[in-house]
Chain A
Amino acid sequence: MTDDVSPTQSFSLDGDDLPFASGETILQAATRAGRYIPHLCWHPDFAAHGSCRICSVKVNGRVGAACTVQAAAGLEVESNTPEMNRQRKTLLQMLFVEGNHFCPSCEKSGNCLLQATAYQMGMEGPHFEEFYPNRPVDASHPDILLDFNRCILCELCVRASREADGKNIFAIGGHGMGTHLLVNSASGQLGDTAMSLDDRAAHICPVGVILPKRRGFVIPIGQRRFDLKPVSQQREGDAT
């Protein structure tokens, strides 16, 4: 991203003219202008991933992911429309039934980007049949717990561990419905890696998979991140 924003270069987002720098994606330009486009796997500090599809927008009439489509002069982008928000709600409902998202007992509740985005899109119910996956938790690390049944495969921990920490601790393995997060150690256990609570990867998870031990339920209800303001009114940043 550069600061070279020329006001002559602009595209239209929901009818408003938005300036952009050359090389920026639609999502980068929108975020810099303070415009919210729902997303889960995108983070301003890392390269786009394009797995969650929540940021899907209509670009000149065709659907594309705002995190990967480059901004170009004169594009007509539709994001906050009933049609796109309905599709986003469906995607969220798919993510919810694929995992065990039992928010009432999850310590990430109120600080969870998936949950907050579902509130934002007005998701009242799951619509689809539950998968009820059965992946065991990894409690082998002294300071960090992994609950794989909440993973949305955003790959932010993979990217943070590889690019920010230089440790390459996480990976995505398997195919299709069997795709899952895994730990890069011979035993497959987090306790046998160099993972540390200071790592960027320990704090980047937007949902409740990577959790610091003995730190749950410390923020009173009403003061948690997304209790205060809906996700559309918050600044970008790490999950914790």
Chain B
Amino acid sequence: MTPPPVYAPVPLKPRKLKLATVSLAGCFGCHMSFLDIDERLLTLLELVEFDRSPLTDIKTIGRCDIGLIEGGLCNAENVHVLREFRANCKTLIAIGACAINGGLPAQRNQRDVGQLLRDVYCAHTGTLAGSQVPNDPELPLPLNQVHPIHEVVHVDYFLPGCPPSADAIWSFLNDLLTGVTPQLGHKLMHYD
């Protein structure tokens, strides 16, 4: 009997984690603060691969490990995209004040949304006579009120700030990528 062949173990290269990001009713400021990690972005790119994001050209989200959501929910398309992210991301993170509690856009919750649209599109100084509120079905309808994302889907982590500092985002992602529960501490925790 010949002994079974012995195979040398193939060294496993760790799979890069997939990261998706999106801005809903956001200002892109959280994404800018993310880019403020500067050259550390190159280190990050050795560990993660971007899926759908404003920084890539990928139109629909695939299976991902981490989803970063900036902005609250102000219209129907925001809700649709948020649900897609939740369905595809193992870990979903609300980043910034808007995603966490609606943020400054939620100050519109003190007004009637129809009146706001009429004020801006019909009555505002500079609008032409006969101007109408846009009504093409291509456009997503605004919600009555702005909502934080955790009121629609389960959120795994909150990363506060308007925006969170680059150091806070870096520390948070490092903890997450090394399997540690993210803790910001006094220096990195702020809501403003």
Stretch at the interface among B78-86, B127-135, B182-190: B182-190
Cβ A101 vs Cβ B101 within 8 A: yes
Question: Given A126-B148, A126-B150, A130-B101, A102–B160 Cβ distance below 8 Å?
Answer: no
Known: A102-B104, A120-B186, A122-B189. 13 other contacts (CB 8 A): A102-B101, A102-B102, A103-B162, A103-B191, A104-B162, A105-B104, A105-B107, A115-B192, A118-B191, A122-B183, A122-B184, A125-B100, A134-B110
Expressed in whole angstroms, the Cα–Cα distance for A129 and B150 within the complex equals 8
Nearest CB of A to B154, in Å: 12
Expressed in whole angstroms, the Cα–Cα distance for A169 and B157 within the complex equals 43
Expressed in whole angstroms, the Cα–Cα distance for A122 and B181 within the complex equals 13
Q: Most chain-A Cβ atoms within 10 A of its Cβ — which of B102, B162, B192?
A: B192
Expressed in whole angstroms, the Cα–Cα distance for A183 and B109 within the complex equals 25
**How many A residues touch B, CB cutoff 8 Å?**
25
Interface residues of A, dominant DSSP: loop
Nearest CB of B to A129, in Å: 6
Tell me which residues across on chain B come within 8 A of A230, comparing CB atoms.
Answer: 186
Using a CB–CB cutoff of 8 Å, the interface residues on chain B facing chain A are 94, 97, 100-104, 106-107, 109-110, 145, 147-148, 150-151, 155, 157-160, 162, 183-184, 186, 189-192
Tell me which residues across on chain A come within 8 A of B183, comparing CB atoms.
Answer: 122
Using a CB–CB cutoff of 8 Å, the interface residues on chain A facing chain B are 96-97, 100-106, 109-110, 115, 118-120, 122, 124-127, 129-130, 132, 134, 230
Nearest CB of A to B68, in Å: 14
Expressed in whole angstroms, the Cα–Cα distance for A171 and B18 within the complex equals 55
Cβ A104 vs Cβ B192 within 8 A: yes
Cβ B109 vs Cβ A134 within 8 A: yes
Q: Which 8 A-B pairs have the closest CB atoms?
A: A125-B158, A104-B162, A103-B191, A124-B158, A109-B192, A103-B192, A132-B109, A230-B186
Cβ B109 vs Cβ A125 within 8 A: no
Tell me which residues across on chain A come within 8 A of B109, comparing CB atoms.
Answer: 132, 134
**Which A-chain residue is minimally distant from B155 (CB atoms)?**
A125
Tell me which residues across on chain A come within 8 A of B192, comparing CB atoms.
Answer: 103-104, 106, 109-110, 115
Expressed in whole angstroms, the Cα–Cα distance for A106 and B151 within the complex equals 24
Expressed in whole angstroms, the Cα–Cα distance for A118 and B186 within the complex equals 10
